Structure 1
Amino acid sequence: MAIQPFPRTGARPAPRVGPDRVLASRRRLLRRDSLLIASWVSVAIVIALFLADDVAAGFVSVGQTLTSLGIAAGLVGTDLLLVMLLLTARLPVIDRAYGHDRAVALHRKLGKPLLYLLLSHTGLLIAGYGMTEGINPVSEVLTLFLTVPDMPLAFMGLGLLLAVVVTSVVAVQRRFPYEAWLGIHLLAYLAVLAALPHQFSNGAVFAPGTWQRLYWLVFYLAVTGSILVFRIAVPLARSARYRLVVTGVRRAGTDAVTITMSGAGLESLSVHAGQFFLWRFLSADLWWHAHPFSLSAAPSAGVLEITVRGLGSGTRKLLTVRPGTKVVIEGPYGIFSKTVRTSERLVMVGAGIGVAPIRSLLEEADFAPGDATVILRAGRVEELYLLAEIDELCRSRGAYLYLETGPRPSDLAHWLPAASADRGFSLLSYAPALASSDVYVCGPVQWSAQVMAQARAAGVPAEAIHHERFSW
């Protein structure tokens, strides 16, 4: 079904990009390229420093060759591990270039190569040392574990990293509650600390006075400082400065509420509609859990709003949060906002509680009447959250609003309900000027992927498709 504030007319020409947006897009791409180059350069530096350290002497026998290859694998793996930690350190330069979702995706992609490198590091060193000393691998492991300083910590660090990578596999991840998964991933920091001593206490690679030692010390300190500053110090400072407190809770559906918060001097907080924060509500049963939620209204007059659906044990508790509850924030994060616009036209597609950032974007974005289309998708009418507010915004701002409800096809091969999919409906059915529009998508992962695939097939450039990942 559809709600149209005014009749649709022929699509008028609209520029794909304006000069300001071209410049902003180029800067963002330049930041991405620079960060990618920097990560490869870090690996190249590690290899170069290793090769410069009289590497030929390490390849005079099979055992020494295996040992040298093992050391090289460990160095590259450690470098990638530190890059992974930087990707989730909430660095502003990374967030502005990639957005939180894409940075986390890159973090995950590095997980398996990192694990393979560190397992190769362990296996090659055991084999190389064993061949050089003339003992079997089992005896070599026992020797390393019992006689080499800091080696038990190194084995513990490898085990912790193995647990982190295994639980990141989607099929395994879904079996864990969010709290358990997050707790396991925090062990990555402990794994780095456990592995660190053996790097500096064993062998000549990190010997005092070498360039390698200086490089690794600087890299470790930079990563540690970034985590302490941007994941701990900045959130605490912002929370103390803005002093957010819950001022209102209202129903947004049968199993959802909109939480309104106010604070001191929020006007100075650089935040845009569509971005998200990590919210920590300081009540007895909620203070220990940070919830990631996008703004569901454009920030204004010292007020922030989020809309929460009770999908799990943690979010269900939020439905009963009381006015007066203090709030600690981390953020804002993400580039699901007007800052990445490339066109005068907008197509915004949301499913379930994913309509929350769509509603805030609709309120804040600049567009002419007729240049914005909103599509809301839900299994049932009751799950069209914030519908009245979105309808009012569409009518007042001149945006087209389409509602699609009903079960998906049995094979889940379409993002629309079966009735619309069978009639051949697609994104183009709702937005004829799709190819010259920015497309914002927020909803479940598989569903969002299908929407974005239709957008790409219709000719929307990759840089004009913006996705908010709606899962952990």
Structure 2
Amino acid sequence: MLFLGSGQPAHVTDLAGAITAAGIVTGLIGTDLILLMLVLAARIPWLDRTFGQDATLALHRRLGKPALYLILGHAALLTVGYSLRDGLSIWHQTLSLYSGRDMLLALAGIILLVLVVITSLVAVRRRFAYEAWHAIHLLSYIAVLVAVPHQLSAGQVLAQSTPQFFYWTFLYALAFGSIIWFRVAAPLLATDEHTIRVTDVETIGPDVFTIRLSGRALSRLGVRGGQFAIWRFWSRGTWWHAHPISFSAVPTDTSARITVRAVGAGTRRLARLRSGTRVSIEGPYGIFTDAARTAPRLSIVAAGIGITPARALLEHSGVRPGEATVILRATDRSRRFLWDEVEELIRAGDGTVSEMIGERPAEVMTWMSADAVGRGETITSALPHLLESDLFVCGPTAWTDLVVRDARAAGLPDRRIHVERFDWSARLSPVRGDRDRPRNQL
């Protein structure tokens, strides 16, 4: 529409004009997609409450390659179009096209986008520590900004004070305004308002520890059980890591609690935090809450440290007597983190909780233990009210997928299956300083 409104189609009279027009259109669409990606990554609360951060970041990730291909097509088509128009070889036209400062900046922007997309590929980003990957990913902001001068000086559609120009200005303001407010300003204001500090750190299992926090007016954070926040602990060894970690209890006005499994150098440092350490917070985020419920009953399947959002969800959901059924899953008894608290919550509400402990059978693709499979257990026998329930599943990605597979096969519709995924290689949420570290440290 921008291109049509600019009057440029009337100038398409030959092959060179058609190729040039195609180059302009691909550039406009590609940049629109990039700005949309920035909005999706801005952690806007309305988007998070409506779609969830997993969904918005998944769309952000899917748009990366199409946006890059369109921008590369934009550069290639314009070079060919101008080459035909001016009667120059592709090589000489390229040298001529990128001889000015603005066009060199645009070329630098394309190179930065290529680097961002390549390092975002799962097979590539698993080779990076999170800090290195995140630093490279931030280049996408620079890539967009350095392309602005050539759009204003060389652009044939947006260089004038037209409705198209104002539309473009609005998109830039929306994208970067959202990033600045929701990723920078709002967290700074929240941190200043709530003055959160570490109270103490308690080990509750092998490489698992609880961090208790104190603060001011923490209930005003609006945390729902099952949500997470992004935490930054201001000690010498941890201040540069941002850790997305679920609340393992619903905050009171003056206290909060998170539970962490140490799986790398960054998370292990958290176990050594001192009382009084200042803490920054961004969030809360996530739709793994009772607000998603539509069915009369509640079923939960949780594995490992995935118990943390499940425990807070149960605390906040206010289930009626006999309404909740919970399966707690672990490979051995040393991994029964917070199970006593969950069992207390369930039994207080006259619900049902069962433990499933043991390795999975090697010969069967299942989320259950070998003993359960040997007894002929199924998801419907383990969760007898499944088809009358909303199912909440939290655990490692591959394990979670198996639970979801069985629930779907049993006839539970997708709208009543709610998943909290933790592996950072499966989602591009900001994850904490350890390579391949799972969110909430499963």
TM-score (norm 1): 0.86
The answer as to whether partners of 1:149 and 1:201 remain within 8 angstroms in 2 is: no
The answer as to whether partners of 2:39 and 2:174 remain within 8 angstroms in 1 is: no
Deviations 1:145-176 (A, max 9, x none): 22x34111111111111122222222222222
**Larger displacement relative to structure 2 (73-82 or 442-451):** 442-451
The answer as to whether partners of 1:253 and 1:386 remain within 8 angstroms in 2 is: no
- Within 1, Cα distance between the matches of 2:127 and 2:44? 30
Alignment partner of 1:156 out of 95, 104, 108: 108
Deviation at 1:232? 0.8
Equivalence for 2:235: 283
Deviation at 1:384? 2.4
Alignment partner of 1:349 out of 298, 301, 311: 301
Amino acid at match of 1:241: E
Quickly say closer, same or farther: Cα 1:74–1:411, change in 2 above 3 A.
Answer: farther
Quickly say closer, same or farther: Cα 1:246–1:408, change in 2 above 3 A.
Answer: same
Deviations 1:35-82 (A, max 9, x none): xxxxxxxxxxxxx12112223334322222111101100100100111
Quickly say closer, same or farther: Cα 1:287–1:430, change in 2 above 3 A.
Answer: same
**Larger displacement relative to structure 2 (407-416 or 167-176):** 407-416
- Within 2, Cα distance between the matches of 1:131 and 1:385? 68
**Structure 2: gaps of 5 or more residues:** 425-442
Amino acid at match of 2:8: V
The answer as to whether partners of 1:349 and 1:440 remain within 8 angstroms in 2 is: yes
SS at the partner of 1:416? coil
1:220 counterpart = 2:186: no
- Within 2, Cα distance between the matches of 1:134 and 1:54? 25
Amino acid at match of 1:201: S
SS at the partner of 2:272? coil
| Aligned counterparts, 1:410-429, within 5 A | 410=362, 413-421=365-373, 423-429=375-381
Quickly say closer, same or farther: Cα 1:49–1:170, change in 2 above 3 A.
Answer: same
Equivalence for 2:436: none
1:117 counterpart = 2:104: no
1:93 counterpart = 2:46: yes
Amino acid at match of 1:80: L
1:126 counterpart = 2:76: no
1:258 counterpart = 2:183: no
1:53 counterpart = 2:6: yes
The answer as to whether partners of 1:89 and 1:227 remain within 8 angstroms in 2 is: yes
Alignment partner of 2:30 out of 69, 74, 77: 77
| Aligned counterparts, 1:137-176, within 5 A | 137-146=90-99, 148-176=100-128
**Structure 1: gaps of 5 or more residues:** 1-47
The answer as to whether partners of 1:344 and 1:367 remain within 8 angstroms in 2 is: no
Equivalence for 2:193: 241
Alignment partner of 1:64 out of 6, 9, 17: 17
Quickly say closer, same or farther: Cα 1:179–1:380, change in 2 above 3 A.
Answer: farther
RMSD, aligned CA: 1.6
**Larger displacement relative to structure 2 (261-270 or 402-411):** 402-411
Deviations 1:393-414 (A, max 9, x none): 2332323222223333436722
1:450 counterpart = 2:406: no
SS at the partner of 2:166? helix
Equivalence for 2:315: 363
Equivalence for 1:323: 275
| Aligned counterparts, 1:307-318, within 5 A | 307-318=259-270
Deviation at 1:454? 1.7
Quickly say closer, same or farther: Cα 1:424–1:84, change in 2 above 3 A.
Answer: farther
Deviation at 1:423? 4.6
Deviation at 1:328? 0.4
- Within 2, Cα distance between the matches of 1:54 and 1:291? 50
The answer as to whether partners of 2:199 and 2:275 remain within 8 angstroms in 1 is: yes
SS at the partner of 1:300? coil
- Within 2, Cα distance between the matches of 1:93 and 1:207? 33
Report how many aligned residue pairs link the two structures: 424
- Within 2, Cα distance between the matches of 1:440 and 1:129? 56
Quickly say closer, same or farther: Cα 1:411–1:118, change in 2 above 3 A.
Answer: farther
Deviation at 1:460? 2.0
Alignment partner of 1:340 out of 273, 280, 292: 292
SS at the partner of 2:423? coil
- Within 2, Cα distance between the matches of 1:415 and 1:175? 28
Deviation at 1:424? 4.1
1:387 counterpart = 2:339: yes
Deviation at 1:450? 1.7
Amino acid at match of 2:6: D
SS at the partner of 2:235? coil
The answer as to whether partners of 1:441 and 1:448 remain within 8 angstroms in 2 is: yes
Amino acid at match of 2:393: V
